[in-house]
Structure 1
Amino acid sequence: MKTYSTATALRAAISAARRAGKTVAFVPTMGNLHEGHIELVRRARREADVVVVSIFINPLQFSASEDLSTYPRTLSADKEKLFAEGVQFLFQPPVEEIYPEGMDSHSKVSVPAISEKHCGASRPGHFTGVATIVNKLFNIVQPDVAVFGEKDFQQLSVIRKMARDLCMPINIIGVATARAEDGLALSSRNGYLSEEQRQIAPVLHRILQETREAIACDYDSYSVLEAHAEQVLRDAGFEPDYFNICDARSLGEVSPDTEEVVILAAAKLGSTRLIDNVTLTMNPSADWGMLAAN
């Protein structure tokens, strides 16, 4: 595995691989890699000849009140995991390489509407930061395939829309959420949980599953289900941010034409913000690439 810190050096390596007839898959990460990330890498290896992974903690997607300075950094362990999985290229740029003139004067990419609800409502500017860095990394790597986790469902939706709207010739692949045995979605932020909080955390996935089962049994009073779920979370010790039942394509309200429902949830447990989701097919004949419940 070769590590590059500049776009110029990485592009040269990728260009050489392409001249040899190789296809390229890309997995962008912020490091502190866990089994969920490794599943993305394994999928990327199945999709292309060369796998490029980036590790960059993007300051543009963090607000002043968020945990940029304390975000876990485990570079040595990350490199060992990527090497063991056969990754060919690691891109690990410093902030100055990505934002040479600073973030305030850097061009930004905005994906309207779909970015403004759910996590976007409680984290203003977050998805502009995400779209900007992913767009920039796509331009550097120019992959055939890019792989993302479905745990960050709204993020994946934003990236897919950006790629469609900007005519990017990249196949965006979502990979089902990796979970611990008790159902907790694997996340770099799980390491912030105390031992007691870690025992409570699986309640988030449980109430998502229960809500999905209620909808599958034709219970369609969605506002009642959302309110009940938020109360369950409060009773367990969470501080809910949102618990929303929506159309999986638009991330807006469910309508009679909705083919797939996604239930999105975000809640704080202590100081740790957890997110998760589950999906449910409403129309068995639907086939638009994101139908698997996770």
Structure 2
Amino acid sequence: MRVHKKRLDILTDVAAFNKQKKTIGFVPTMGALHKGHLALIERALEENQKVIVSIFVNPTQFNTSEDLVNYPRTLDEDIKLLSVLSEEIIVFAPTPKEVYGDEMLSIKYDFKGLEHEMEGKFRPGHFDGVGTVLKHFFNIITPNKAYFGEKDFQQLQIVKKLVEIEKMSVQIIGCPIYREESGLALSSRNKRLNQRQLDISPLIYSTLKQVKKEFGTKSVSYLNKWVSDQFKNNSELQLEYFEIAKVSDLKSIKRKQKDTKYRAFIAVFAGEIRLIDNIALN
């Protein structure tokens, strides 16, 4: 398995694949790989002749220096995990300078309002950082397909809009959320949870499932209050937001409409560790 840390090295591989007319699948990650990442990579391996996995903790998408510093970095373990999956995977693990050059700045994007909803309200500038780093990676790797998990559903919609804005030919593939047996959505941040937090965190998904069950008969205002009440007196989990939103534009709703697709979105703090999840409602 080849591991590249230099832009020139990955460009050399990509040029060879393009010359051979090999299809390229790309899975961008920030490392600390788990089964959710592996599911994305396995699908990429099934659908493409070559697969590139990036491992890069992107500084421009973090809102606090503390979160950036504490984000788990496990490159050696990640490489071992990938080598077991397939020796054919190419890993790109650059430094920020290799990605951004001398100026590590985010492009200011207009994602047609998608960036101002939910995560955008609580993490200003986050999606500019996501869009900027993916633009760099897409330009370097020129993939045919790129794979993203639906746990970050808002990000998935943002990436689709990015490709439209930048007029890129890459096809964006959304993949189902991978969960623990308890229902907790897999995330690299889960590694930072203590046992008490792990024991209580399945409440997040069970709450979403109950919302889905009652969405057809209960009002949006009722569901919003009910979710808030589930976390009101919880000493381990603090609700940051819960919103029911239209899939098309991610705007939160007060009333349901016919022939419209909705999802429920939630963000919760377990101590200082921020967990997000979502579920399709109809």
- Shorter-chain TM band: over 0.9
Instruction: Name whichever of 7-16 and 123-132 sits farther off.
Output: 7-16
Residue type at the aligned position of 2:246: D
1:100 aligned partner: 101
Choose from 220, 230, 240 the match for 1:232. Answer: 230
2:247 aligned partner: 248
Instruction: Name whichever of 62-71 and 192-201 sits farther off.
Output: 62-71
- Secondary structure of 2:240's aligned partner: strand
After TM superposition, the structure 1 = structure 2 runs for residues 137-286 of structure 1, keeping only pairs within 5 Å, are 137-216=137-216, 218-219=217-218, 221-237=219-235, 238-254=237-253, 256=257, 258-281=259-282
Q: Which runs of 4+ in 1 moved over 6 A?
A: none
- Secondary structure of 1:38's aligned partner: helix
Structure 2 segments unaligned to the other structure (5+ residues): none
Measured against aligned partners, the alpha-carbon deviations of 1:188-229 in whole angstroms (never above 9, x if no partner) come to 11111111111000000000000011013x32x112211210
Residue type at the aligned position of 2:250: L
- Does the 8 Å CA contact 1:242/1:265 hold for their aligned counterparts? yes
Higher helix share: 2
- Secondary structure of 1:250's aligned partner: coil
- Does the 8 Å CA contact 1:110/1:132 hold for their aligned counterparts? no
Query: Residue 47 of structure 1: CA displacement?
Result: 1.4
1:91 aligned partner: 92
Query: Residue 44 of structure 1: CA displacement?
Result: 0.5
- Does the 8 Å CA contact 2:96/2:104 hold for their aligned counterparts? no
How far apart in 2 are the matches of 1:126 and 1:147? Answer: 19
How far apart in 1 are the matches of 2:47 and 2:17? Answer: 15
Superposed CA RMSD:
1.5
Structure 1 segments unaligned to the other structure (5+ residues): 282-294
- Secondary structure of 1:68's aligned partner: helix
- Does the 8 Å CA contact 1:28/1:53 hold for their aligned counterparts? yes
Query: Residue 99 of structure 1: CA displacement?
Result: 2.1
Give me the identity figure in percent: 37
Measured against aligned partners, the alpha-carbon deviations of 1:31-68 in whole angstroms (never above 9, x if no partner) come to 00000000000010111100000000000001235411
How far apart in 1 are the matches of 2:265 and 2:202? Answer: 15
How far apart in 2 are the matches of 1:65 and 1:98? Answer: 19
How far apart in 2 are the matches of 1:141 and 1:199? Answer: 40
Residue type at the aligned position of 2:97: E
Q: State the TM-score, normalized to the length of structure 2.
A: 0.94
Query: Residue 19 of structure 1: CA displacement?
Result: 1.7
Measured against aligned partners, the alpha-carbon deviations of 1:106-126 in whole angstroms (never above 9, x if no partner) come to 645442410111011001111
- Does the 8 Å CA contact 2:148/2:172 hold for their aligned counterparts? yes
How far apart in 1 are the matches of 2:22 and 2:126? Answer: 34
- Does the 8 Å CA contact 2:243/2:252 hold for their aligned counterparts? no
- Secondary structure of 1:181's aligned partner: coil
**Structure 1 residues 140, 108: closer, same or farther in 2, change over 3 A?**
farther
Instruction: Name whichever of 38-47 and 95-104 sits farther off.
Output: 95-104
- Does the 8 Å CA contact 2:246/2:252 hold for their aligned counterparts? yes
- Secondary structure of 2:223's aligned partner: helix
Query: Residue 98 of structure 1: CA displacement?
Result: 1.5
- Does the 8 Å CA contact 1:61/1:128 hold for their aligned counterparts? yes
How far apart in 2 are the matches of 1:157 and 1:235? Answer: 33
How far apart in 2 are the matches of 1:251 and 1:263? Answer: 10
- Does the 8 Å CA contact 1:203/1:236 hold for their aligned counterparts? no
Residue type at the aligned position of 2:140: I
1:292 aligned partner: none
- Does the 8 Å CA contact 1:111/1:131 hold for their aligned counterparts? no
Instruction: Name whichever of 151-160 and 17-26 sits farther off.
Output: 17-26
**Structure 1 residues 252, 83: closer, same or farther in 2, change over 3 A?**
same
Query: Residue 164 of structure 1: CA displacement?
Result: 2.1
Query: Residue 74 of structure 1: CA displacement?
Result: 0.7
- Does the 8 Å CA contact 1:111/1:128 hold for their aligned counterparts? no
